Amino acid sequence: MSTSVELDQLWSGKALGVVGLGTTGQAVVRVALDCGAEVTACDGRSVPLPSGVTRTIINEDPQALADELSQALSEREYECVMISPGIPPTHPAYGVCERHGVDVVSEVELAWRLQRDMDRDIPWLTITGTDGKTTTVSMLSHILTTAGFNAPAVGNVGTPIIEIVASGQADVLPVELSSFQLHTTLSVEPTASTCLNVAPDHLNWHGTMEAYTADKAKVYANTRIAAIYTVGQDETLTMVEDADVIDGCRAIGVTVGTPSVGQIGLVDDLVIDRAFHAERHASGIELFTLHDLSHLAPAGDVSRLPVHLVTDALAATALARSVDVCPEVIAQAMSTFHPGAHRSVVVANHADVTWIDDSKATNPHAAMAALRSVTPGTAVWIAGGDTKGADFTELVATVAPALRAAILIGKDHSQLNALLVPMGIPVVSLPDQLPEELMTTVVREAVLLAQRGDTVLLAPACASWDQFDNYGQRGDLFADAVRAMITSQATR
């Protein structure tokens, strides 16, 4: 990575610890070294590192690693320790840092401090939520890029944010933030921020729903211009009301209903701004129409646009309006936006059956949102995987009317099976298989279950790690199996 010469001595004389040397940790090491810092790098496994690392601690025993880190912290003053987001707060390294009075920070926090030390004031537009973060940040990046900004999506997606900041090239930063990253983000001052929604997830990492919600709420801290909440999601409004924001910051609502003053919402199929419009107390202005999103709906039918996708679009629009993007640009961007892979992607419409890959629906809330957009009684639902400790009772009770049948994957799908069968929903429980074989079997079973007008929906409500490398592989293999099925039928 090439960085500006002005970085060379920016952190000279400062010592940083980095615990966890995955993609994020290695990016922090590289940038910190480029800035002249002394770096102690720690991991449970041996990882190739650039030359210049002051101290390397490799120990697969977490407590032993923490003891070695403690020794390092006792020998000199450390600016902070970055602990990678995949490492839970139960790891003993957290306690070591607390005992030594050293801040534990996220890569996001370090990136903000770097931007400040570079004497730059690039607007950050921050996004969190249980679901919809990646769609929203991608949509926002597309809007800003259409407006002529250099605005790559960063944070929990894309290139590590610290590398983008170090490059000095961005004009605006759309930043997706996970609850893990927010847990140790301390001083970021976003221009605008939003929490899209909050529902139980990652409780095995946070410990309690209260702790998870508190970390999500940090997205609003120190917001300068607009703290954006979702009307009807009372938790997000409470977060805004309780947040310590910069004087002059306004609360802005987004709603799929008619907007009041201070909101962006819908009037019929028109998206109307009554939040950033100068004459908002008397009238609103049109930003775009839902028909600009018709290419994202199954079979191009605007009436089938998922509500959660519309809400994501409204949030992205509100964030873009906070940095004065004009309505014409927003409308153009909406008509040309395509979501990232595995998020409500229509794989095929074949024999009057729609096949949708929503593999990124890795928790009950996301799966519920996906199934709510399906006509009652027409969904063949593919579900299951690593539950992350989630309870599916509310999910199954809510989505049962949408289901024609369910196909269960995962090494243990006993909880979903126990909830679905008593409701009289046909269930096919598949045994553990190799990933490619499993998805071929899934599609074969779905063909037998689906009827004309149905939707076969991969929205697992679970993580993928028990049977797949990641949710991307799960979605790719599903799409491959669907296409192979169509080809096979066409050649008969």
Residue 318 lies in a domain: yes
- Amino acid letter at 284? G
Backbone dihedral angles phi then psi of residue 152, each to the nearest 5 degrees: -70, 145
> Which of 247, 254, 197, 244 has the alpha carbon at shortest distance from 221?
244
User: Exposure of 119 by Cβ count < 10 A (0-12 exposed, 13-18 middle, 19+ buried)?
Assistant: exposed
Residue 177 lies in a domain: yes
Q: How far is residue 145's CA from residue 53's CA, in Å, rounded to a whole number? A: 37
457 — alpha (psi -120 to 50), left (phi > 0) or beta?
Answer: beta
Which residues, other chains included, contact 51 with Cβ-Cβ below 8 Å and sequence gap of 6+? none
Q: In this structure, are 357 and 408 located in the same domain?
A: yes
CA end-to-end span of the chain: 52
pLDDT score for 166: 95
Q: How far is residue 442's CA from residue 433's CA, in Å, rounded to a whole number? A: 11
- Amino acid letter at 14? K
Q: In this structure, are 60 and 201 located in the same domain?
A: no
pLDDT score for 306: 84
Q: In this structure, are 229 and 376 located in the same domain?
A: no
Residue 292 lies in a domain: yes
Q: Among the three residues 280, 302, 336, which one is the final residue of a domain in this structure?
A: 336
pLDDT score for 383: 96
- Amino acid letter at 49? L
User: Exposure of 28 by Cβ count < 10 A (0-12 exposed, 13-18 middle, 19+ buried)?
Assistant: buried
Which residues, other chains included, contact 245 with Cβ-Cβ below 8 Å and sequence gap of 6+? 220, 221, 222, 223, 224, 227
Q: Among the three residues 38, 72, 105, which one is the final residue of a domain in this structure?
A: 105
Q: In this structure, are 269 and 187 located in the same domain?
A: yes
Q: In this structure, are 319 and 358 located in the same domain?
A: no
Q: How far is residue 38's CA from residue 237's CA, in Å, rounded to a whole number? A: 42
pLDDT score for 441: 96
What is residue 136's three-state secondary structure? Answer: helix
Q: In this structure, are 268 and 132 located in the same domain?
A: yes
Q: Where are the extended beta strands (E) located within 329-434? A: 345-350, 353-357, 379-383, 403-408, 427-429
Per-residue pLDDT of the chain (492 residues; tens, 9 = 90+): 334 447 878 999 999 999 999 999 999 999 999 999 999 999 999 988 989 999 999 999 999 999 999 999 999 999 999 999 889 999 999 999 999 999 999 999 999 999 999 999 999 999 999 888 989 999 999 999 999 999 999 998 889 999 999 999 999 999 999 999 999 999 999 999 999 999 877 777 778 889 999 999 999 999 999 999 999 999 999 999 999 999 999 999 999 999 999 999 999 999 999 999 989 999 999 999 999 999 888 777 888 888 888 999 999 999 999 999 999 999 999 999 987 777 788 899 899 999 999 998 888 988 888 888 788 999 999 999 998 888 899 999 999 999 999 999 998 888 999 999 999 999 999 999 999 999 999 999 999 999 999 999 999 999 998 999 999 999 999 999 999 999 988 776
Residue 492 lies in a domain: no
Give the helix, strand, coil percentages of the chain, each rounded to 5: 40, 20, 40
Residue 4 lies in a domain: no
Q: How far is residue 287's CA from residue 300's CA, in Å, rounded to a whole number? A: 21
Q: In this structure, are 415 and 322 located in the same domain?
A: no
Range of the domain at 389: 345-486
What is residue 104's three-state secondary structure? Answer: strand
Residue 222 lies in a domain: yes
Q: H-helix or E-strand containing 446?
A: helix 435-449
Domain containing residue 179: CATH number? 3.40.1190.10
**42 vs 59, 67, 93, 457, CA distance in Å?**
8, 11, 10, 42
What is residue 291's three-state secondary structure? Answer: helix
Total number of domains constituting the chain: 3
> Which of 84, 177, 187 has the alpha carbon at shortest distance from 129?
177
- Amino acid letter at 5? V
Enter the tokens of residue 42: 């720690």
Beta-bridge partners for 58: 43
Domain containing residue 386: CATH number? 3.90.190.20
User: Exposure of 235 by Cβ count < 10 A (0-12 exposed, 13-18 middle, 19+ buried)?
Assistant: middle
> Which of 90, 103, 79, 83 has the alpha carbon at shortest distance from 41?
83
Question: For residues 216 and 137, is the Cβ–Cβ distance under 8 A?
Answer: no
Question: For residues 175 and 190, is the Cβ–Cβ distance under 8 A?
Answer: yes
Residue that is written with structure tokens 């930063």 in the block:
173
pLDDT score for 492: 67
Backbone dihedral angles phi then psi of residue 254, each to the nearest 5 degrees: -120, 140
Q: How far is residue 489's CA from residue 350's CA, in Å, rounded to a whole number? A: 10
Q: Among the three residues 59, 88, 105, which one is the final residue of a domain in this structure?
A: 105
Residue 310 lies in a domain: yes
Domain containing residue 81: CATH number? 3.40.50.720
Q: How far is residue 390's CA from residue 409's CA, in Å, rounded to a whole number? A: 16
Quote the crossing angle between the two packed helices 307-321 and 327-336, to the nearest 10°. 140
Q: How far is residue 115's CA from residue 111's CA, in Å, rounded to a whole number? A: 6
What is the secondary structure of 27-71 as a DSSP string?
A: HHHHHHHHTT-EEEEEESS-----TT-SEEEE-SSHHHHHHHHHH
Q: In this structure, are 58 and 97 located in the same domain?
A: yes
Residue 3 lies in a domain: no
Q: In this structure, are 57 and 176 located in the same domain?
A: no
Q: In this structure, are 306 and 351 located in the same domain?
A: no
Question: For residues 219 and 177, is the Cβ–Cβ distance under 8 A?
Answer: yes
Q: In this structure, are 260 and 162 located in the same domain?
A: yes
Q: In this structure, are 159 and 308 located in the same domain?
A: yes
348: which DSSP letter?
A: E
